[in-house]
């Protein structure tokens, strides 16, 4: 992703941060849109990435969070941070992703990435203009969920450069100042950890200094106050709001919490589980995402159906084709989702609107009556 291997970059942590994003997304995917209270038993099962859920994802299958992060990484590849944000390159990747008919896409992303090119065949100008006119009120999590590759890409750059790059990325779909501030703070935290593995307090101190000096939006309160204690944090209302993922990420960073426990506690909170969990690993920069590949759980490597094929620069998000006995039991359990509970999951608000699947509400509710939407056979090519 970077043109040269800069001194001071811990590449184990960089790779672990990206893999951790994928694993968190895959674990949370089985609980996304889950009705009712999520139990410890539910979370324990989800941590094994069994597949299933409302979207009937395959074992270890990633969702829009990871697919857009991969798209961002692809768009940044071959470009240098010192030359500025690669707007057109990244915009083209986002359009290609949107055109792949993702089974889960938020309203904000759909509006921004569904644009047509200008007369010269370029997308960036049309995308930023559409976002500015149609998406400026959204405080959804669609930009923060994909931003981690930019933090990796910009390691070693000046703080003001990292902030500018992170803010510019948000303008492609989420230009609201709240979303820009979240991107900026998050990238500063992650970039610090990639240069200084394990220095969680140093990362928090850096973030706090930036927030106190440069952030005037409500993100200031989230960082300085709400992230001190999440015991009363309710993530099941306005579930797509960026507030929840941001506060959880900063809280677990403050606590120097283990990656596995942070994911576990995040999934228990419910709401937009895959996005909230995907954002956590990059804060912790855990080498090789130990939870997913440690010796006692090598089977998860086989379950994680994510193939990054560097040779032909192709990436696929692939689920299993045949259900095991365990999968079938999960499948049958998911089919018991009641229509009235599903109805409640799609009540939107003007802020946290980034959790609406690409099918219409009526189509989705109809499919929920018959069983989960089949997502496990979809392939996504970068």
pLDDT-derived band at 93, boundaries 50, 70, 90: very high
- 274 annotated as belonging to a binding site for a ligand: yes
Q: What is the pLDDT of residue 265?
A: 97
Give the CA dihedral 268, 274, 279, 280, nearest 10 degrees: 30
Element (H, E) at 315: strand 314-317
- Annotated binding residue 83: no
pLDDT in the model for residue 376: 44
Does residue 4 belong to any structural domain of this protein? no
What is the mean pLDDT of the segment spanning 16-43?
92
Q: Determine the average pLDDT of the residues in 174-182.
A: 99
Instruction: Return all residues near 8 (Cβ < 8 A) that are at least 6 apart.
Output: 155, 156, 195
Instruction: Tell me if residue 346 falls in helix, strand or coil.
Output: coil
Report the candidate in 162, 193, 348, 163 with the shortest Cα–Cα distance to residue 283: 193
Does residue 209 register a pLDDT over 90?
yes
- State yes or no: 275 annotated in a binding site: yes
Total number of domains in the chain: 1
**pLDDT for 380:** 54
**Residue 108, marked binder:** no
Residue 346 resides in a domain: yes
Is the pLDDT score of 292 beyond 70? no
Q: Is residue 376 in some structural domain?
A: no
SS (H, E, C) 7-19: CCCCHHHHHHHHH
Assigned domain for 6 exists: no
pLDDT confidence of residue 322: 42
Residue in 194, 263, 257, 250 with CA at minimum distance from that of residue 220:
250
Beta bridge partners of residue 307, listed in sequence order: 316
pLDDT band at 34 (very low <50, low <70, confident <90, very high): confident
Residue 21 lies in a domain: yes
194 found inside a domain: yes
Residue 272 pLDDT more than 60?
yes
Rounded Cα distance, 360 and 345, in Å: 13
Q: What angle do CA 291, 297, 302 make, to 5 degrees?
A: 100
Query: d(Cα 354, Cα 324) in Å, to the nearest integer?
Result: 32
Residue 381, in any domain of the structure? no
For the stretch 121-152, pLDDT in tens is 999 999 999 999 999 999 999 999 999 999 99
Domain that holds residue 58: 11-370
- For position 308, what pLDDT does the model report? 35
Residue 5 in domain: no
Supply the CATH number for residue 360's domain: 1.10.4080.10
Is residue 282 a known part of a binding site?
Answer: no
Q: Which residue has the tokens 């960036």?
A: 124
Is 64 annotated to bind a ligand? Reply is yes
Q: Is the pLDDT of residue 340 over 50?
A: no
Categorize the per-residue pLDDT at 374 as very low, low, confident or very high, splitting at 50, 70 and 90: very low
Averaged confidence pLDDT in the chain: 81
Q: What is the DSSP letter of 39?
A: P
């Amino acid at each position: 992703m970077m043109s040269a291997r800069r001194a001071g970059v811990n590449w184990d942590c960089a790779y672990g941060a990206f893999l951790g994003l994928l694993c968190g997304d895959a674990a949370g995917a089985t609980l996304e849109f889950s009705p009712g209270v999520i139990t410890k038993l539910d979370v324990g099962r989800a941590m094994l990435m069994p597949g299933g859920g409302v979207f009937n994802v395959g074992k270890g299958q990633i969702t829009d969070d990871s697919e857009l992060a991969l798209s961002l990484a692809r768009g940044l590849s071959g470009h240098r941070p010192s030359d500025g944000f690669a707007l057109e390159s990244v915009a083209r990747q986002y359009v290609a992703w949107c055109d792949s008919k993702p089974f889960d896409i938020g309203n904000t992303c759909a509006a921004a990435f569904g644009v047509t090119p200008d007369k010269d065949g370029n997308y960036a100008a049309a995308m930023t203009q559409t976002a500015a006119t149609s998406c400026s009120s959204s405080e959804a999590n669609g930009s923060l969920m994909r931003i981690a590759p930019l933090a990796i890409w910009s390691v070693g750059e000046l703080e003001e450069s990292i902030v500018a790059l992170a803010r510019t990325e948000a303008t492609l779909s989420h230009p609201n100042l709240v979303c820009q501030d979240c991107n900026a703070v998050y990238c500063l935290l992650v970039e610090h950890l990639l240069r200084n593995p394990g220095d969680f307090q140093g990362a928090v101190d850096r973030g706090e200094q930036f927030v106190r000096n440069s952030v005037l939006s409500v993100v200031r309160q989230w960082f300085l106050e709400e992230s001190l204690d999440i015991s009363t944090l309710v993530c099941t209302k306005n579930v797509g709001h960026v507030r929840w993922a941001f506060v959880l990420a900063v809280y677990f960073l403050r606590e120097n919490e283990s990656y596995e426990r942070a994911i576990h506690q995040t999934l228990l909170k419910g709401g937009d589980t895959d996005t909230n969990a995907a954002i956590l690993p990059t804060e912790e920069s855990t080498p090789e995402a130990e939870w997913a590949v440690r010796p006692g759980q090598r089977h998860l490597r086989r379950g994680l159906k994510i193939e990054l094929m560097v040779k032909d620069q192709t990436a696929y998000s692939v689920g299993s084709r045949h259900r095991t006995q365990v999968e079938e039991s999960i499948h049958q359990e998911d089919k018991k989702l009641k229509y009235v509970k599903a109805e409640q999951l799609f009540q939107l608000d003007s802020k946290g609107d980034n959790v609406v699947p690409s099918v219409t509400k009526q189509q989705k509710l109809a499919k929920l009556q018959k069983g989960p939407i089949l997502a496990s056979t979809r392939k996504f090519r970068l």
